[in-house]
C-alpha cells in the first residue's frame, strides 16, 4: 500500500487524527529501533478504531496493534502495512460491585502505571505487581504480563475485543484462555479494553508494596538504558537471566546492542543499535544456552517487519 495514493486518501479520511506515512518506528518502541511503517494511525475512539479496522480488512492491508511498544522489536526494513497505535484509547473508570469488589475498566491505551497510581490513591489492592511494568493495558493483557508471582489473568474479569466481524465483543474471564505470557485470541482480534477485579485495601500497605516492587526493579533492571523488557520467556526449571549469566554472555555486544551487565535477560540499546544486532545477540544466546544446558529459550519480545 506504500504508494497507493487513493488508499492513503481513504485512510486519512477514516479517522479523526492525523495519519503518519513512512513513520519511523524507532520513535514508537521502548528499545528505540525499527524502520518505517507504511502508515501509523492513532484512533481516538472505539468508532474510529472500528472504521479503521474495517477499511484495512476490506482492502486486505496488514495491520499491527501497538500500545507503548515495550515488548516489540521492529526489523530495520520497517513494517509493510498499517501500525494502529492504541494510545488514543485511554478512558479509565472504576465502580463498586455488589460483591464488595471494585471493577476498574480501562481502555487499551491506558498505561499500567496509571492504574497503579489509581490503586494507591483509592486504596485498591490486587494490581501492585504491575508497578514498574511500562506497558499499556492492551499489550499487557494480550501477553498476560506478570511479575512477582502474579499475572494479568489473576485480575482480569472481562476483555472487550473488536472481533473478525468488526463488532465489539465482551469476553468473560471464564471464556478466556491464558497461558504463560499469552492470551489466546485470533491474530485479527484487537483488544479494546479490559475490566479488572480489585478490592478495598489498606492505603499504607499498598504504598509500601508498590515502593518495594519499584525498588527491586531499580536494583535488578537496567532502567537507565532503552530496552524492551525481558527478551526471553523463563523456562520452568530456571530463570532465563540466570542461564544467560551462566554461559558468560552478560556484557556481550553487537554494535550498540548489549546484553545488560545488570540482568542477563535484558538487551539494551547503548545509543544507535539496530534490530539486526539485537536479533544476532538473541540467536547467539539461544545457541549458547542450548549447547550448554540443552534448553531452548523462547523469545518473549515480538519481532515484526522486514530486514533492512
Give catalytic residues, as residue numbers.
181, 230, 300
State the residue for C-alpha cell 518506528: 25
Question: What DSSP state is assigned to residue 261?
Answer: S
State the residue for C-alpha cell 523469545: 299
**Residue 294, C-alpha cell as written in the block:** 540443552
What pairing do the DSSP bridges indicate for beta strands 257-259 and 267-269?
Answer: antiparallel
**Residue 231, C-alpha cell as written in the block:** 527478551
d(CA 103, CA 111): 17
**Residue 295, C-alpha cell as written in the block:** 534448553
**Residue 112, C-alpha cell as written in the block:** 499500567
- Is residue 78 within 8 Å of residue 121, measured between CB atoms? no
- Residue 82 CB contacts under 8 Å (≥ 6 apart), including other chains: 1, 11, 37, 38, 39, 40, 41, 52, 56, 61, 62, 63, 64
- Is residue 29 within 8 Å of residue 274, measured between CB atoms? no
**Residue 55, C-alpha cell as written in the block:** 477499511
d(CA 2, CA 18): 17
- Residue 56 CB contacts under 8 Å (≥ 6 apart), including other chains: 62, 63, 82
Amino acid at each position: 500500500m506504500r504508494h497507493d495514493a487513493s488508499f492513503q486518501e481513504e485512510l486519512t479520511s477514516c479517522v479523526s487524527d492525523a495519519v503518519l506515512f513512512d513513520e519511523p518506528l524507532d520513535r514508537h518502541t521502548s528499545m528505540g529501533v525499527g524502520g518505517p511503517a507504511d502508515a501509523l494511525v492513532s484512533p481516538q475512539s472505539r468508532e474510529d478504531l472500528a472504521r479503521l479496522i474495517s477499511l484495512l480488512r476490506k482492502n486486505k492491508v496488514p495491520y499491527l496493534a501497538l500500545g507503548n511498544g515495550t515488548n516489540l522489536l521492529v526489523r530495520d526494513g520497517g513494517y509493510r502495512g498499517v501500525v494502529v497505535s492504541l494510545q488514543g484509547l485511554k478512558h479509565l473508570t472504576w465502580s463498586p460491585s455488589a460483591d464488595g469488589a471494585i471493577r476498574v475498566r480501562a481502555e487499551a491505551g491506558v498505561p499500567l502505571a496509571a492504574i497503579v497510581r489509581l490503586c494507591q490513591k483509592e486504596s485498591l489492592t490486587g494490581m501492585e505487581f504491575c508497578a514498574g511494568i511500562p506497558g499499556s493495558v492492551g499489550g499487557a493483557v494480550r501477553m498476560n504480563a506478570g511479575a512477582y508471582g502474579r499475572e494479568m489473568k489473576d485480575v482480569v474479569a472481562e476483555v472487550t475485543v473488536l472481533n473478525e466481524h468488526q463488532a465489539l465483543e465482551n469476553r468473560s474471564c471464564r471464556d478466556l484462555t491464558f497461558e504463560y505470557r499469552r492470551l489466546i485470541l485470533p491474530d485479527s482480534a484487537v483488544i479494546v479494553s479490559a475490566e479488572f477485579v480489585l478490592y478495598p485495601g489498606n492505603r499504607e500497605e499498598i504504598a509500601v508494596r508498590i515502593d518495594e516492587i519499584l525498588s527491586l526493579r531499580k536494583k535488578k533492571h537496567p532502567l537507565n538504558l532503552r530496552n524492551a523488557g525481558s527478551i526471553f520467556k523463563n523456562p520452568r526449571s530456571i530463570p532465563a537471566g540466570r542461564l544467560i549469566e551462566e554461559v558468560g554472555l552478560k556484557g556481550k555486544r553487537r554494535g550498540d546492542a548489549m546484553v545488560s551487565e545488570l540482568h542477563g535477560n535484558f538487551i539494551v540499546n547503548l545509543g544507535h543499535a539496530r534490530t539486526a544486532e539485537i536479533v544476532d545477540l538473541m540467536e547467539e544466546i539461544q545457541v549458547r544456552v542450548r549447547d550448554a544446558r540443552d534448553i531452548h529459550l523462547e523469545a518473549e519480545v515480538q519481532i515484526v517487519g522486514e530486514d533492512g
